[in-house]
Amino acid sequence: MRNDQTFRQELNQALDYADILDRIAGYASFSGSAARIREAMPVTDRIFVREQLDLAQEARTFTQNGQSASLAGITDIRSVLQMAQKGQVLTTQELLEVYLFLRAVDGLSRAFDAGLYPKLSELADSLVADSRLESAIQDAVGMDGTLKPDASPALVRLNRELTQSRASLAARGREFVKMNSPALMEHMTTSIGGRLCVLVKAQDKYRFGGMIHGSSQSGQAFYVEPAAFVEANSHVQSLQAEIEEEKHRICRDLTKRVGNAAFSLESDFETVTEIDTALAKGRWVLDVDGVIPSLQERDGSLRLVHAVHPLLDREKAVANDYRLKPRQQVLMISGPNMGGKTVTLKTVGICVVLAQAGFPVPAHEALLPWYESMWFDIGDNQSISENLSTFSSHMTRISGLVSSAGRGTFALLDEVGNGTDPLEGASLAVAVLEDLMDKGATVLTSTHYSQVKSWGKAADGVLVSSMEFDAETLQPTYRYVEDVSGASYAFDIAARCGLPTSVIDRARERKEQEASQVQRELENLERLQETVRHKEERFRSLIDDAHRLQKEADQEKEKARKDRQRIREEYAANLDSMLDEKREEAERIIQDLKGKEKLHELVADRTKLNSLGQDEEADGAEPETSASTKPHVFHVGDYVRLTGLNTHGEIVDIRRKEATVLANGIRTRVKLSKLEPMARPVIRKPERTHRVDAVASRFPSELNIIGMRVEEGLDALDHYLDQAVVHHATVVRIIHGMGTGRLRSAVWKDLSKRSTIKSYEAAGPSDGGLGATIVTLR
């Protein structure tokens, strides 16, 4: 892999590589890791790249789980360590930077669970937390970057003596002013050069002895240090000098300790930088909804799902899927200008480069090959100083590519052969692509040339695709359409831009005259492919509508079932309540009967007892059975109809004139007079009209939707459960991951609405725990 400055410039110009790394570096906590991100380059060291991607994966999970590692306040301390090793005394601010770094190391060493984040934990375990040096600096230096007054016992003593001396000197000054106020210009003391003075009238400047430190601007007064102040002033300054010397000694001692620990601190700095770089990648990949790529060495197959260029606004950008099958070496993209061809090339190219630099990629799924070398030719690189035209500039780079290409080469070429005669340019483009294919290189290219598209359609190993263009609005949709070559729409766009119809018609005639039979057939094929694709999209839309209607029908069915269940429960509750009231009234009457002795009272209560239950027969009741007609004798096990309730069931118990009937799973006590015998209905099992073939045995028992958005995950779940019903699956597993919990909640909500689901629950510890759901189908 090239790793020179020219290759770096090529990456920056062709893929905006530096701008993308700047964005990722913005997620770093300090300048050291930000610089490492900005300096990253694609490499061929497989072990290094895999380690970087594994760390980024753990960092993504760490961040997704809501955890964080505090690195706030730390800086790049390497220059400070070098100064300490050379014996240069560090300032208190520099010592504070070392302390903040040591504190971050101490916290980082305990931040990662070895079971969940083994690689990050392994790095953190290698950190050497120097708690003694950390405590020593903390005891001496405050968080404001100044030395603490109690940094040492000597400093405490000196500060106390200084405070006392200043207080004594101030008292002496107040006394002097009070006694000599007529000779003073101001009745207060002042400080000149750190020594206490008074402002004396000019004629009295020698009156008090001592030293004269200067005069006022008018010359009418002088700043005098009286002889009475000299000794005390000198003592104060002596104490101040001793304090500064003690501070210097403290900083010198701490600097020596930092210098002795410099090797360990430099090692810790590298480790902290490595961890913070991984955490920055993890935060970035979550923000761009990206993925950690998988790199394979089997063949040249490539797959990117829902990929978006990282510099585009993800809310507005159109995501696309790109792939190359194992035997396909060239992905050729056609379509009109400004349709998104170059952005497509850059999107695939930056995913390849980021992956081999150890970074996540902006896609939902990424499977990429290893490449030993990379070449990029995008944009116009005219050079006035080197007298190179656009065509010459392209050919210079392509000649370098062709000379060094081989198996494991990745080339991204925009408009090969552009900038010269179209026929010669197209012929040259085909020759270059054929040569690169013969050498085993993988090539992504774009073209306008019909001859190149015709060759690509006929050549093995070439996938000709296009960027969709709306023929009605003449606007690009930026959607990538696989295996469909796109037209240029040059005449339509020219007409839209106001070119006269006569000119466009003349151009069409000339095109028809000069176009070869192959070109005409190619254009006809492009139109046919476009028609078929629109029909496929319409068909897919109809299937989606059918799924939606089926789900709505299932929801309505479930609602009706719940309504029926509610009505049954309300009916049973009302019936039980009514029967309980009648039983209570009967008990009261029976208790009254036991206490009555008079015949007429007994007859009245017996009449009340016989009348119980007749009130509900008053409306719509059938006439009583005549004496000549014998009532039907019911037995346990008879199948009966409950008159007035429009239901039927089996008698399970008979007591006196009441029977307990099991109807629709509900036990109901009713009077025998309310029952009619009926024949037990025969329930026929429906015949199975479908067949089960060998496909059922191959139906997957689990669905993995980790990394999908909620809408995509539910679409995949809907399709999978439909297939599960068709294949008579009984138990399946849905793998959705833990993450933020949104996808899991959406899956459970969807399952709760399905009539085909018997039950669902979180998987056991060995089956994925909260990251998976076990579903049992009816």
The DSSP letter of residue 686 is P
Of 484, 532, 482, 528, the C-alpha closest to 325 is 482
Report in angstroms the alpha-carbon separations of 433 from 174, 277, 441, 455: 97, 39, 9, 10
By DSSP bridging, strand 462-470 and strand 475-481 are antiparallel
Is position 335 annotated in a ligand binding site? yes
Distance (Å, whole) CA 283 – CA 66: 11
CA distance 370 to 300: 8
Contacts with 500 (C-beta within 8 Å, 6 or more apart), sequence order? none
Find out whether 143 is annotated in a ligand binding site: no
Pair of tokens at residue 317? 């950008």
- Residue 40 CB neighbour total at 10 angstroms: 19
Is 149 annotated in some ligand binding site? Answer: no
What span, in angstroms and rounded, lies between the C-alpha atoms of 568 and 645? 11
Q: Is 210 annotated as a binding residue?
A: no
342 is in an annotated binding site: yes
- Residue 137 to residue 145: CA distance in whole angstroms: 11
- In DSSP terms, 366 is beta-bridged to 304
Classified as helix, coil or strand, 126 is: coil
383 vs 387: CA distance, rounded Å? 6
3-state SS, residue 539: helix
* Exposure on the CB side of residue 192, measured as CA atoms within 13 A: 17
* 358: nearest Cα among 285, 431, 427: 285
Q: Is 341 annotated as a binding residue?
A: yes
Cβ atoms within 10 Å of 353's Cβ, excluding its own: 24
Distance, in Å, from the CA atom of 41 to the CA atom of 358, rounded to the nearest integer, reads 9
User: Which residues on adjacent β-strands are paired with residue 141?
Assistant: 147
> Is there a binding annotation on residue 340?
yes
Q: For 285-294, give one letter per residue: b (16+ CB within 10 A) or e.
A: bbebebbbbe
Laid out side by side, the sheet with 195-201 consists of 184-192, 195-201, 221-225, 211-215
Give the number of residues written for the chain: 778
676, β-bridge pairs: 641
**Strand, helix or coil at 199?**
strand
Annotated binding site for ATP: 335-342
Annotated binding site: 335-342
